[in-house]
Amino acid sequence: MHVTPPLPTARLAALALLIAAALLPHGAPARAATASHPTGHVMTPEVRLVDDYSNWYAGGAYAGDMAVLRAGLPRYITDSTVLHEAVSLPWGGTSVGYGGWVHLSEITGPIFGKIASDLEVSDPSYYQRGNIVIREVTVTVKGNQAAPQPFVMGLVEKFTIENGRIKQIDEYFQDTAGFLDRLSALGALPVRRQ
């Protein structure tokens, strides 16, 4: 089993800024815009959209009810919004529009439902340049008998905003293989048929 040591906060922030520099269009420098920013910066409409979406979707506002999910999605995405995740994930690949999000949630709901009490996600940091917002968090899966050491990993998401909605999301896991190993050790992954 692979266990990733925790990333120091400064190193994780540097990783997010490097990704932001590589992914954001050239022009004015990216600016930090976080909900808990120590200087009290006000969120831009784009960052507020991403923050509201992330809190709503990951917070389980739809409680596994796919009709509620489908009804709430138009506040944040369109039926042509694209989500890219690592293809090695059981829910990975490309999801498109409302139907894609429902399908994604049908797969991820049971997986994350099994580990919800063992999962912690840090407060996000945001970086923005124009219509591009980078969201950075640290994901921690607590240790247990099956895997005594906590698993800690950085997660960076690139959101492209268009006409007040999320047009595209690209997710980057610091250690996708290690995350899958931990989910497997916790019995959270579906059994693969040979």
Per-residue pLDDT of the chain (194 residues; tens, 9 = 90+): 333 344 444 444 444 443 444 444 444 444 455 444 444 557 899 999 999 999 988 877 666 788 888 899 999 999 999 999 999 888 889 999 999 999 988 888 888 888 888 889 999 999 999 999 999 999 999 988 878 899 999 999 999 999 999 999 999 999 999 989 988 888 888 765 44
The DSSP 8-state label assigned to residue 62 in this structure reads: T
Q: Are strands 31-32 and 125-129 parallel, antiparallel or unpaired?
A: antiparallel
- Cross-strand bridge partners of residue 133: 128, 159
* HSE, side-chain direction, 13 A CA sphere, residue 45: 9
- Cross-strand bridge partners of residue 125: 136
In a domain, 193, yes or no: no
In a domain, 20, yes or no: yes
The DSSP 8-state label assigned to residue 32 in this structure reads: E
- How many whole angstroms separate alpha carbon 65 and alpha carbon 24? 35
Name the nearest CA neighbour of 180 among 156, 158, 157, 153: 153
Please give the pLDDT value at position 41.
54
Q: Are strands 77-85 and 165-173 parallel, antiparallel or unpaired?
A: parallel
Burial label for 133, CB within 10 Å (0-12, 13-18, 19+), is buried
Residue 156: Cβ within 10 Å count: 22
In a domain, 191, yes or no: no
Cα angle 167-15-176, degrees, rounded to a multiple of 5: 70
Whichever domain contains 24, its CATH number is 3.10.450.50
In a domain, 2, yes or no: no
Please give the pLDDT value at position 147.
80
In a domain, 123, yes or no: yes
- Which residue range is the domain that position 162 belongs to? 9-185
- How many whole angstroms separate alpha carbon 34 and alpha carbon 47? 8
Q: What are phi and psi of 29, to 5 degrees?
A: -65, 155
The answer to whether the beta carbons of residues 124 and 136 sit under 8 Å apart is yes
- How many whole angstroms separate alpha carbon 172 and alpha carbon 12? 13
Please give the pLDDT value at position 129.
95
Q: What are phi and psi of 53, to 5 degrees?
A: -60, -50
In a domain, 1, yes or no: no
In a domain, 190, yes or no: no
In a domain, 152, yes or no: yes
| Structural domains in the chain (count) | 1
